[in-house]
Structure 1
Amino acid sequence: MSPTGQRATTPTTSGAGATTDKKTATKTAKATTSRKPSPTREQPATRAQPATRDRERTRRALLEATDQLLHERGTGFSLADVAARAEVSKGGLLYHFPTRDALIIAVVEAGLARFRDEVMAHVDLAENRPGKVLRGYVRALCGSSQEAVNTFAPSAWNGVDVIAEVADLLHTDANWWRETFARDGLDPQRTLIVQFAAEGVAAALAMGAYINDDEIGLARDGLLALTEAT
């Protein structure tokens, strides 16, 4: 009985109607199971990596342009000069570096790190005797690494140390080398003589006219000989 007191009647379905209902239900189920999740939520994450790479490339281009201008003009350049050299908009430059000092500080920091890496790449880890790092220093500065030679070009640091943060970076770097050479196992006096002589060779190489290939070889061999403890 139905709630109204009348006998409930069950509707009958013809064979054709039942078949149609089954087909409709089957199509609906297939459409539901074959529907793929919307990719909308994935798109921001997919775009993030290329955007990050673009920012990194822009930052590198700005640092390289600033490094070139420092070698060419000292600190006599503007942010507009950097943007033009790097082929980056002024807004793009300011996104990464809000001031010229910030650019110079970043260039110095990156340059000091590259110099360390260059020297360490010239250290022969198979040398199990004192002076291993100092010999790598000599090899890097006496013609084997243009990157290391550029560090001692007369124009490389022209005027940048008046920026307090740059002066701090240079002092920290100098102390790092003192501590590194102190652990290298050679007499401190000999280490200083070889270190500064190698830097002098690098400065002459950067100038170009004051040393030739034969003289570079003689200087390198002589300095390497001095690193051998007797």
Structure 2
Amino acid sequence: MRESKREAALEAAKRIVQRDGVTALSYEAVAAEAELTKGGILYHFPSREDLLLALHKYVADQWEQCMIREVGQEAGPQLDDDTKAAAYVRASQNPDRAELLLTLEAATQNTAASEVWNGVYNRWAAEEPTAAEDDQAVRRFIARLAADGLWFYESIAPGELRPEVRDRLVEEIIALGQDTIP
């Protein structure tokens, strides 16, 4: 099946952010990278803000699709917190620079984009505990913080973790979130 021009533009935009950062995102850069016309980019994204928001949605959706594949269904009341937390940990690995830069941009610059990412976090990530006495909620949140730390480490490290090391770290983080405190 042939990739749509809209998706081709979003993939090109992601490569630009990956390589050159969010500030390098322009119609001209996306058109050249996607081998499309500037008018073709404008057709799908009437403003740079529309392009950037669509890119946030596109990348956040790719991440959420990883979590859905982990559990075989979308997040909802039928999934328990441990299952969602494990999917979050597994899907939060192997980040790319574009994902890191977009999440940072959303957190610091862009309310609409922040809502996109927060929607994914709200559906999948362990919530901040409301009480220090809720041992299981505290452990799940610690696992989330550990997964986020590993994700950040992998996104800025000069090399890649060996797959068997990453797998062991992921399983230990998941176990940490699911164990009960004696």
Scaled by the length of structure 2, the TM-score of the pair is 0.74
Q: 2:149 aligns with which of 185, 200, 208?
A: 200
Where structure 2 has 5 or more consecutive residues not aligned to the other structure, the ranges are 74-78, 130-134
Q: Could you give the per-residue CA deviations for residues 6-61 of structure 1, whole angstroms, max 9, x where no partner exists?
A: xxxxxxxxxxxxxxxxxxxxxxxxxxxxxxxxxxxxxxxxxxxxxxx98x711011
* One-letter code aligned to 2:158: A
Q: Does 1:218 align with 2:163?
A: no
Percent identical among aligned pairs is 23
Distance 2:147 2:83 in 1: 15
**AA paired with 2:170?**
R
Select which of 11, 24, 28 maps to 1:80: 28
| 8 Å contact kept, 1:71–1:156 | no
* 1:124 Cα deviation from its structure 2 partner: 7.1
- Give the structure 2 partner of residue 50 of structure 1: none
Q: Which residue of 1 aligns with 2:90?
A: 139
Q: Which deviates more from structure 2 when the two are superposed, residues 78-87 or residues 167-176? A: 167-176
Q: Distance in 1 between matches of 2:100 and 2:23?
A: 15
- Would you identify which runs of 4 or more consecutive aligned residues in structure 1 move more than 4 Å? 178-182
8 Å Cα contact 1:138-1:198 kept in structure 2? yes
Task: Work out whether residues 130 and 229 of structure 1, in 8 Å CA contact, stay in contact via their aligned partners in 2.
Answer: no
Specify the SS of the correspondent of 2:22.
coil
Report the equivalent of 2:132. Answer: none
Which amino acid counterpart does residue 103 of structure 2 have in structure 1? W
Q: CA deviation at 1:102?
A: 0.5
Specify the SS of the correspondent of 2:101. Answer: coil
Q: Separation in 2 of the partners of 1:134 and 1:152?
A: 23
TM-score normalised per structure 1: 0.60
Q: Is the 8 A contact 1:65 1:86 kept in 2?
A: yes
Q: Mark the structure with the bigger radius of gyration.
A: 1
CA shift digits 1:136-183 (9 cap, x unpaired): 2222234xxx4xx2388543435355233213323333333358899x
Closer, same or farther: CA 152–83 of 1 in aligned 2, 3 Å: closer
Segments of 5+ residues of structure 1 without an aligned counterpart are 1-52
